[in-house]
Amino acid sequence: MTPRTTELQAQTHAERERLAALLADLTEAQWDAPSLCAGWRVREVVAHITMPFRTGTPSFVAGMIAAGFSFNRYADRVARRDAARMTSDELLGTLRDNVRHPWQPPGGGPAAALSHDVIHGLDITEPLGLPPAPPERIAVVLEHSRPRALAYFGVDLAGLELRATDADFRLGTGRVVELPVKDVLLTVTGRRPVPHRATDPAL
């Protein structure tokens, strides 16, 4: 195992522990609050985060076939199903019991596993006004994001440089827009509108 892999796995485990601690204090009303994922409440997001821990390969393949090989359709169906049949305590327990689970998105590696948990963690914490992942952890996600992964979200950053104010990270070229690193990640993943106004007072 390389030092890079060890670091990414340690960050993933820490993020799962952090999310589990936050979720443990939620009221049922907060579990049912809207998340940043359109159409999903907090409980659907947690069901999605923990889906890989409950899903074996045969079940995954069968679900993908039933969903016409659309992962988004499959993920939505499973998140809604599991959120409906599992209690808040059961969802939380699944996360707690799998903090060190070795799951990685197919072809994505340890960086993709960390990205999965950090991004969906923000889907929960932002609308609830809860603390986000530490800036340095979010910066790690951005630093290890492949262009193809960012292109998945379809966000056009042409002519802009997003520069983090609380981490050593910048993305793109052009007019400088300074943001907290969490807002950089929320922007590149389509959770926040692209800020077209630069920090240059002449603009």
Per-residue pLDDT, averaged over 81-110, amounts to 96
Per-residue pLDDT, averaged over 42-52, amounts to 98
Percent with pLDDT over 70 in the chain: 95
Q: What is the pLDDT of residue 1?
A: 82
Q: What is the pLDDT of residue 148?
A: 65
* Calpha distance 42→106 (Å, rounded): 25
34 φ/ψ angles, rounded to the nearest 5 degrees: -65, 145
Residue 174 falls in which region: left (phi positive, over 0), alpha (psi -120 to 50) or beta:
left
| Structure tokens that stand for 57 in this block | 């390969």
* Calpha distance 44→107 (Å, rounded): 24
Decide: helix, strand or coil at residue 112.
helix
Pairing state of beta strands 160-164 and 175-179? parallel
| Band (175; pLDDT cuts 50, 70, 90) | very high
Pairing state of beta strands 160-164 and 170-172? antiparallel
What domains are there in the chain, each with its CATH number?
Answer: 3-133 (1.20.120), 150-188 (no CATH)
Strand partners for 164: 179
H-only helix segments in 26-134: 28-31, 42-54, 57-66, 71-85, 88-97, 109-128
Is 60 exceeded by the pLDDT of residue 77?
yes
Q: What is the pLDDT of residue 149?
A: 67
Other CB atoms within 10 Å distance of the CB of residue 144: 17
89 CB contacts (<8 Å, ≥6 apart)? none
Which residue do the tokens 């009221």 mark?
A: 27
Q: Of 156, 160, 172, whose CA–CA distance to 203 is shortest?
A: 160
Is 80 exceeded by the pLDDT of residue 113?
yes
Is 60 exceeded by the pLDDT of residue 199?
no
Say if CB 169 and CB 142 are below 8 A apart. yes
pTM for this prediction: 0.91
Is 50 exceeded by the pLDDT of residue 198?
no
Lowest-pLDDT range, 16-20, 54-58, 184-188? Answer: 54-58
Q: What is the DSSP string of 58-82?
A: HHHHHHHHHTTT-HHHHHHHHHHHH
With vertex at residue 56, the alpha carbon angle to CA 53 and CA 61, rounded to the nearest 5 degrees, is 125
Q: Is the C-alpha dihedral spanning 1, 109, 36, 90 positive or negative?
A: negative
- Convert the pLDDT of each residue in 145-162 to its tens digit: 876 667 778 888 889 999
Per-residue pLDDT, averaged over 98-114, amounts to 94
Per-residue pLDDT, averaged over 175-191, amounts to 95
